[in-house]
A and B are shown apart, each in its own frame.
Chain A
């Protein structure tokens, strides 16, 4: 199978339909309150009004060399209402196009990505000509209405230029856990090979080794979604190492009679399974036997999204045990739950935050607090410094037949940046196809409306 993320550590894809939807989120309120209608009274000649009905990205292209900049063709739809000499009236709809506008990735002074905007040259000017209009009507259209339309469209593009598309500053997530972008990352590109034309933001990090190849990108948005994010296992493995090194996840802990020290841990994504393996040192209570154990472990959790649209979506996961040949030892299952919490939390949180970045900066550094009750291990990831930040919570099963949960309700809505008094809200919808795991990669797709 081809790699979703083209070998990059993290990739996020936004389709043109989503981008156009975001633009419309800003334009619709402005249009409703008349801010996109431009009226000119012409005395005894008459009156003209023009309304910007919509702005659309027609396509997205990344001409060679790949990663050098994304181009798009923009289309503005304008409805006119003119009345000349109180007898000549027309209500035409016009479409104006600007070719090869650039899509830009502005950065902070430190060089970190801030968002994605359309970059239209300062000298940009649009001229509208009514070629077929003759006589006095043609003169009026071309000399009075044409410039008016140009002004309106220019204003619209100015609006568009300030609309930051919902690829969020990845620095929030990855920089916070200590992953720094590799040179050349993040990279903005586009693909038009498959599905909708789409924008792609791809990154590699300093500690994650191999580099991706942007020319290999094809759409990886799952059916029914308009945005998706992919994280590679090497990002999560590096994040887990960092979390253990910094003490956010426990390297040593007690669970029932077991005292555990994690020697090493690796994270791998296999078909439908998030897997962790490694070795631990174990000691049992007072240990009458006077021995310690070196345990080589491997466990896999199979995640999936459940919950129909409109209800709180939840990621469910269960252990990949073979019912015929594997049994559980409740003490070690508790140990396994604590060990698995960090890979699972970091994998799902980094992934969800690549799509909808709602991870509060204040969560990090966090502390892991496991608590067992009945057949469930509840693990809270709680901010160390900010008591006001609600802990992220996961539940892991303490029976092989059970299932654990990770609540996605934090990731179901978010506000776009306020602009001219408009602060649209995006709703995030998940389906049972939203989450997928394949060799080396974990993907989350959603429909943002």
Chain B
């Protein structure tokens, strides 16, 4: 996925567009579009990249480069080239910092970040549990920051695809979504699913969306979650732990109790 990360200050609006996952050894570009709210001189862009990713500098077709004066209301676009090491898998954050000088003021800077996974493309097998290697990718990506945990819950499949470079078979996507209870997250229920008015009068107050609109809204929720702008209510942070290490990570968690022996649990009945 190409992810657009918006950043705004009083002087500038910046939109950075970068891929969320690439193959090891592949080159990629990040576009940075800048709109001036106030006349400013753009001085330089600095990048901080994860190990295994190299900054190649601005691309020649991206205009005259920096520094460059930008009048209020005008925009300028930059492109930067990056490369990745072959046979080196990594997950991390690329942080860009634009140094600029507003008209009549001293130098300032503004930063933005976006996650990127450098992993070979893989297709997960539906009939076998997730392999150790792909699971490691997932845990690394989800635990990287709080926003990723929310994005994972909002759209499990998209997160796997976008950040771990793993295609998830449809049957698994459907099964996991059911288990997580993701069918109607934060979305108005279609009329057919709505219970009688007296049971939940608030349901009938909102608009009712068709399937395509729901898909689009869900996609928007996912993108917002990736950007840290939308959260799953009630969850401050979600971190994944390999199943077999669960006891080590927290001595109070009884692995046997969390196995499939559901009779040991108090079960929420469904009426």
Q: Give chain A's interface residues, CB within 8 Å of chain B.
A: 250, 252-259, 261, 263-264, 277, 281, 283-299, 319, 321, 325-334, 336, 338, 368-378, 399-403
Contact = CB atoms under 8 A, between A and B. Distances in A.
Given A281-B250, A374-B200, A332 B268 contact: no
A330 B271 CA distance: 16
Contact of A290 (B185, B203, B242, B254): B242
B129 interface: yes
A403 B236 CA distance: 22
Interface string B164-205: 000000001001101111111111010000011001101101
A298 B236 contact: yes
Interface of B: 129-130, 135, 138-139, 153-154, 172, 175-176, 178-187, 189, 195-196, 199-200, 202-203, 205-206, 221, 229-243, 246, 249-250, 252-254, 257-258, 260, 262, 264-271
A334 B268 contact: yes
A331 B200 CA distance: 18
Q: Is the interface of A mostly helix, strand, loop or mixed?
A: strand
A257 B271 CA distance: 16
Contact of A330 (B176, B184, B243, B254): B184
A327 B233 contact: yes
- 9 closest A-B pairs by beta carbon, nearest first, are A331-B181, A327-B186, A257-B179, A373-B271, A374-B195, A285-B179, A250-B266, A253-B266, A296-B236
B265 A254 contact: yes
Contacts of A376: 199-200
B231 A325 contact: yes
**Among the interface residues A254, A293, A368, which one has the most CB atoms of the partner chain B within 10 A?**
A293
A332 B181 CA distance: 7
A321 B233 contact: yes
B125 to A, nearest CB: 10
Given A253-B267, A254-B268, A256-B268, A289 B234 contact: no
Nearest to A320: B233
Given A285-B178, A331-B181, 8 more contacts: A257-B179, A281-B250, A293-B240, A297-B234, A329-B181, A330-B184, A372-B271, A373-B271
Contacts of A334: 181, 268
14 contacts: A255-B267, A281-B246, A285-B175, A286-B175, A288-B172, A289-B129, A289-B130, A290-B129, A291-B135, A326-B232, A328-B233, A331-B182, A373-B270, A399-B203
B237 A295 contact: yes
B192 to A, nearest CB: 13
B234 A332 contact: yes
A400 B232 contact: no
A36 B95 CA distance: 88
A319 B258 CA distance: 28
Nearest to A247: B266
A327 B266 contact: no
Nearest to B253: A281
A294 B250 CA distance: 9
Contacts of B229: 325
Nearest to B195: A374
Contacts of A377: 268
Contact of A288 (B129, B240, B246, B270): B129
A327 B239 contact: no
Given A281-B246, A292-B258, A326 B195 contact: no
A281 B235 CA distance: 12
